[in-house]
């Protein structure tokens, strides 16, 4: 079943999100960074406590964590809208650019430990008729293929929509270190909405999770698709 954020629904409106505005000051120490949205059932700590909690401070050689996540999310959005193998098109959504219009525009990118883009994936369920062809799974497979191993330690997966249970499970199995996602998905989300597979203490691997990155932009793309 296709997950369908209700058009104009309050859950994806992104209104009032501290991470929504493109013009907001890019401050890696912003207290809003990486927090779970109020009302989410997930614990209040999203990569803000425990190992890596101070990772967000801007390093001498690069942008801070927040800027990096937003930069990477824009790339994931580009993949969602244009597809991994297609050039960027002007039309933000819908039938432009030869992108199969039936597939929900979700994009994912895997970055290596040094920030190198390893692989991308776009939801291709309708295109391929494969129920597992979610953006995250495709990106994980391609990244593993490129690295020649299934373990994706120290890698980051960035995806425009909160992962489902299948993808959250795959991310844990791949030992991915960090997951960054855009819009919340209250109907199927497994990174804090319905479940919190990524931070389930019963599992032997728990990535750091940052949700709601560029939430408004990501939600807008999905709303435009379902409209
Ligand atoms: Zn999925």
70 CB-near residues (< 8 Å, 6+ apart)? 26, 213, 214
Instruction: Judge whether 133 lies within some domain.
Output: yes
Q: Does residue 180 lie in a domain region?
A: yes
39 occurs within a structural domain: no
Token readout for 144 is 């593993």
Range of the domain at 176: 65-82+102-226
User: Which of the following is catalytic: 124, 136, 185, 208?
Assistant: 136
- What is the pLDDT, as a whole number, of residue 84? 63
- CA dist., res. 53 & res. 50, Å (int): 6
Q: Is residue 173 part of a domain?
A: yes
The predicted pLDDT at position 33 comes to 39
Pairing between strand 178-183 and 156-161? Answer: parallel
- pLDDT tens sequence for the chain (227 residues): 444 444 443 343 333 343 333 333 334 334 333 444 434 444 333 443 333 334 443 344 557 999 999 999 999 999 999 876 654 443 444 444 455 568 999 999 999 999 999 999 999 999 999 999 999 999 999 999 999 999 999 999 999 999 999 999 999 999 999 999 999 999 999 999 999 999 999 999 999 999 999 999 999 999 999 98
Instruction: Tell me if residue 11 is catalytic.
Output: no
Give Cα 36 distance to the centre of its chain.
14
Q: Residue 167: which of 108, 216, 111 has the closest Cα?
A: 108
How many whole angstroms from 136 Cα to the centroid of ligand 1?
6
155 labeled binding residue: no
> Which pTM was predicted?
0.70
Question: With contact defined as beta carbons under 8 Å apart, do 56 and 64 qualify?
Answer: yes
Assigned domain for 149 exists: yes
Q: Looking at residue 211, which CATH number applies to its domain?
A: 3.40.140.10
167 marked ligand binding residue: yes
Is residue 54 a part of any domain in this protein?
no
Residue 115 in any domain: the answer is yes
Residue 145 lies in a domain: yes
């Amino acid at each position: 079943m296709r997950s369908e954020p209700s058009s104009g629904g309050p859950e994806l409106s992104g209104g009032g999100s501290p991470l929504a505005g493109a013009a907001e000051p890019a401050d890696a120490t912003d207290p809003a960074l990486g927090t779970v949205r109020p009302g989410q059932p997930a614990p209040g700590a999203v990569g803000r406590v425990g190992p890596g909690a101070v990772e967000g401070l801007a390093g001498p050689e690069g942008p801070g964590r927040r800027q990096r996540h937003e930069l990477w999310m824009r790339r994931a959005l580009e993949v969602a809208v244009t597809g991994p193998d297609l050039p960027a098109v002007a039309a933000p959504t819908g039938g432009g650019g030869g992108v199969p219009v039936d597939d929900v525009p979700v994009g994912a990118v895997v970055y290596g430990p040094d920030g190198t883009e390893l692989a991308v994936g776009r939801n291709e369920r309708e295109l391929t008729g494969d129920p597992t062809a979610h953006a995250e799974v495709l990106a994980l497979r391609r990244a593993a293929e490129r690295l020649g191993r299934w373990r994706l330690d120290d890698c980051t997966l960035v995806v425009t929509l909160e992962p489902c249970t299948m993808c959250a499970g795959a991310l844990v199995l791949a030992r991915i270190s960090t997951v960054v996602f855009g819009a919340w998905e209250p109907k199927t989300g497994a990174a804090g909405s319905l479940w919190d597979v990524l931070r389930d203490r019963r599992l032997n691997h728990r990535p750091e999770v940052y949700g709601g990155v560029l939430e408004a932009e990501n939600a807008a793309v999905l709303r435009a698709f379902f409209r």
